[in-house]
Amino acid sequence: MSDPVETPTPKRGPVRFRRADAPRLQPDDARRQGEITRIAFQRLGREGAIAFLNSDNAELGTRPLDLATSSAQGFASVEAALGRLPVPAATEA
């Protein structure tokens, strides 16, 4: 029988990170984004929240996550829209 052929393990160099080209969120924007995400997850569950926050919404005229992150008024609009949605059976208490 022949010996199995060993394939050499590729050598990796040091991991280098580059700065992202996209600007970072301002602290207030990041706080609003985190808070609206938390509210949506509690109300709609993980999958429902992700779908709601990242899909264009006809009532709001844009993606809810973008609107909520942009201003306090936008946050209030998205929070109100979440409040008007029916609660899925799996997340009711």
Q: Which tens digit of pLDDT belongs to each residue from 33-62?
A: 999 999 999 999 999 999 999 999 999 999
- Alpha-carbon distance of 60 to 38, in angstroms, equals 19
Q: Which helix (H) or strand (E) holds 31?
A: helix 27-54
Tell me what the mean pLDDT of segment 9-30 comes to. Answer: 80
Q: Domain map of the chain by residue range? A: 27-85
Total residue count of the chain as it appears in this document: 93
Give the up-direction half-sphere exposure of residue 26: CA atoms within 13 A in the CB hemisphere. Answer: 5
- Alpha-carbon distance of 90 to 61, in angstroms, equals 28
Model confidence, pTM: 0.71
The predicted structure's pLDDT at residue 2? 61
SS3 assignment, position 57: strand
- Alpha-carbon distance of 65 to 67, in angstroms, equals 5
Express as a percent the part of the chain with pLDDT over 90. Answer: 63
- Alpha-carbon distance of 75 to 73, in angstroms, equals 5
The predicted structure's pLDDT at residue 38? 97
Q: What letter does residue 89 receive in the DSSP assignment? A: G
Tell me what the mean pLDDT of segment 24-40 comes to. Answer: 95
